[in-house]
Amino acid sequence: MKGKGDMNNDFLHNKFIVVPFFLWFGIQLFKVLYDLITTKKFNFKRILGAGGMPSSHSAVVVGIATLVGKYEGVGSPLFAVTLVLAFVVMYDAAGVRRAAGKQARMLNKIIETPGLSGMEVSERLVEVLGHTPLQVIVGALIGFIAGMIA
């Protein structure tokens, strides 16, 4: 039976947790720094925000699927689950969430057009929600490479 200290040590050395976390954090940090360089403004919301190049969601789920395939085998039920999850997340990022972002952009324009809408809105809708297919593919490639290296 493992002691509490062993369980914490196992958690911190679990590739299936550590690699996806650092993938997400690294990509989100890249987005913050890229925004800082291009806009000359620090936008801390980018660290947790969705959208942009590359897709951290895609990197994380493909990274997990790659790790599972590498260590558990591509014939394992767990690999099948992680692969299907990866496809669902990537489809959602490039499809549903991207469409929601486009709708938010249009609604913001309608609300801001004088005389077109009598609505008073306290905050704008979030427009950067999803990803282009290229952002998803680049994120998936980063996740695959990280999973193969780990």
For the chain, the structural domain boundaries read 4-95+130-149
Q: Quick: pLDDT tens for 17-76.
A: 999 999 999 999 998 898 888 888 887 777 777 778 899 999 999 999 999 999 999 999
Q: Quick: pLDDT tens for 75-95.
A: 999 999 999 999 999 988 887
The pLDDT, as a whole number, for residue 105 is 74
Q: Which two tokens stand for residue 78?
A: 């767990």
Mean pLDDT (the chain, rounded): 84
Q: Which two tokens stand for residue 121?
A: 């809105």
Residue 107 scores a pLDDT above 80: no
Torsion-angle region of residue 123: left (phi > 0), alpha (psi -120 to 50) or beta?
beta
The pLDDT, as a whole number, for residue 88 is 95
Dist. CA 129–CA 88, nearest whole Å: 16
The pLDDT, as a whole number, for residue 106 is 76
Nearest to 131 by CA among 86, 87, 88, 101: 101
Residue 8 scores a pLDDT above 70: no
Dist. CA 50–CA 93, nearest whole Å: 9
Residue 115 scores a pLDDT above 70: no
125: DSSP letter: P
The pLDDT, as a whole number, for residue 112 is 73
Please, what is the end-to-end C-alpha distance for the chain in angstroms? 28
